[in-house]
Amino acid sequence: MKTLDDLIAEGVKGRRVLLRADLNVPLDGDRITDDGRVRASVPTITALTEAGARVVVAAHLGRPKGGPDPKYSLKAVAERLAPLLARPVPLAPDCVGEATRAHAQALKPGDLLLLENLRFHPEEEKNDDGFARQLAELADCYVNDAFAAAHRAHASIDAITRHLQPAAAGLLMQRELSALGRILEAPERPLVAVLGGAKVSDKVALVEHLIGKVDALVIGGGMAFTFLRALGHGIGRSLVEPDRIETARAALEAARRRGVPLTLPVDVVVADGLDSPSGRAVGVRQIPDTQMGLDIGPRTVERFTAVLATARTIVWNGPMGVFEKPPFAAGTVAVARAVAAAPAFTVIGGGDTIAAVNAAGVGDKIGYISTAGGAFLEFLEGRTLPGVAALTEAV
């Protein structure tokens, strides 16, 4: 695919570049609580402005319901970008329309304009061609740096490339595809995948795909209980997806046939509920009928750590328990530290997983931290991402 370097080499000075960035950050009121995605967008913005491009940045924030909502304005993002770029970041009144078009046309080489939230227009998520054409009118070429949204066939990601060419990959997009491609295409082995989180249904396709790719699979979190139930264990009031028990059983059988070790918890931390002040570790055969498993236990941590210590490549998505509750955080924190300590190239993705490695204080010891959640999973499943497929092929 055409890259940002290709585009700059062809010459962007004085040209208007529409940059689709990922600025979908968590907010507490008008305060950004994690600016990781904003910081990740800075290298591509800087490269374009320093090359003399007139940069129009487009992004979405949250899930506004069909129209403008001050709660989801990108004003807070503009204010955070300004000190990171050491320059003012003007915010357009909208992402399309005459006033916005006038702002874009008035830009000088090296100038920057941030468009207001794309999702203030329902046409964005509908991949509406007319809306895409309006966005395309703001620029002369296109760069997609929003890997975290690349699994969405939305107007600013897919349809726009029918009207705005060339369409190149930004620096963050390139880094994401390189790191994840390294896992799927040419990993140093053994390759170990660690999956957690609440639901099997969110990751069933990923489990099926990875069984044919990895040397070992480790499963924890809420999703592990559906697998334990498939093995015939009583799981008390733990999270389970009854309609996925057969799917879990089939995955266990597929792993057995292929000779891929699939490691499940051997003990869990149980309690009466999420708000319990503490829990206790029990074997997976001793989960009380009245209690629920909310974290992996210490013997499971040892077991998972032993598997990770053998790896040369690790990919991890999903916490091992309800780690946002302090009594049930130990398992996830321990796995984060084991991943960081392993003699392996490590890649993690998903907001909860990123929060976990940061809580464990090992974020700087992870090989690559993906900004994506859904796109991260779909890429690992082997799916074609619309935002990647839409990019111009390199000559």
- C-beta atoms surrounding 291 within 10 Å: 21
pLDDT in the model for residue 168: 97
Q: Is residue 388 part of a domain?
A: no
Catalytic residue, candidates 101, 133, 199, 365: 199
Are residues 203 and 123 both part of a single domain?
Answer: no
pLDDT in the model for residue 387: 95
Asked if 351 is an active-site residue, the reply is: yes
Asked if 374 is an active-site residue, the reply is: yes
Tell me the CATH number at 228: 3.40.50.1260
The domain total for the chain is: 2
Going 218 to 178 to 57 to 153, the CA torsion angle's sign is negative
Lowest mean pLDDT among 120-124, 139-143, 241-245: 241-245
Lowest mean pLDDT among 150-164, 197-211, 356-370: 197-211
Mean pLDDT, residues 36-57 taken together: 97
Catalytic residue, candidates 36, 62, 110, 351: 351
Q: Is residue 285 part of a domain?
A: yes
DSSP three-state, residue 12: coil
For residue 191, the surrounding DSSP H or E stretch is strand 191-195
Asked if 244 is an active-site residue, the reply is: no
What percent of the chain has pLDDT above 90?
86
Query: Kind of pairing, strands 31-32 and 27-28?
Result: antiparallel
User: CA-to-CA distance for 134 and 56, rounded, in angstroms?
Assistant: 13
pLDDT in tens, 48-69: 999 999 999 999 999 998 899 9
Are residues 324 and 206 both part of a single domain?
Answer: yes
Are residues 295 and 224 both part of a single domain?
Answer: yes
Query: Kind of pairing, strands 191-195 and 280-283?
Result: unpaired
Residue 363 belongs to what domain range?
Answer: 187-380
Mean pLDDT, residues 346-368 taken together: 92
Are residues 130 and 245 both part of a single domain?
Answer: no
User: Considering 153, 174, 195, which residue would you say is the last residue of a domain?
Assistant: 174
Are residues 263 and 374 both part of a single domain?
Answer: yes
Are residues 83 and 205 both part of a single domain?
Answer: no
User: Considering 131, 152, 174, which residue would you say is the last residue of a domain?
Assistant: 174
Q: Is residue 393 part of a domain?
A: no
Residue 394 has pLDDT above 70, yes or no: no
Q: 285 or 184, which is more confident? A: 285
Q: Is residue 387 part of a domain?
A: no
Are residues 156 and 221 both part of a single domain?
Answer: no
Catalytic residue, candidates 62, 97, 283, 374: 374
pLDDT in the model for residue 395: 56
Query: Kind of pairing, strands 216-219 and 262-263?
Result: parallel
Are residues 59 and 202 both part of a single domain?
Answer: no
Are residues 202 and 223 both part of a single domain?
Answer: yes
Q: In the β-sheet with 112-114, what is the strand arrangement from edge to edge? A: 112-114, 54-58, 16-20, 141-144, 167-169
For residue 114, the surrounding DSSP H or E stretch is strand 112-114
Q: Is residue 367 part of a domain?
A: yes
Residue 202 has pLDDT above 90, yes or no: no
The mean pLDDT value of the chain amounts to 95
Catalytic residue, candidates 2, 15, 16, 37: 37
Residue 10 has pLDDT above 70, yes or no: yes
Mean pLDDT, residues 262-286 taken together: 97
Mean pLDDT, residues 232-246 taken together: 94
Asked if 16 is an active-site residue, the reply is: no
User: Considering 174, 199, 230, which residue would you say is the last residue of a domain?
Assistant: 174
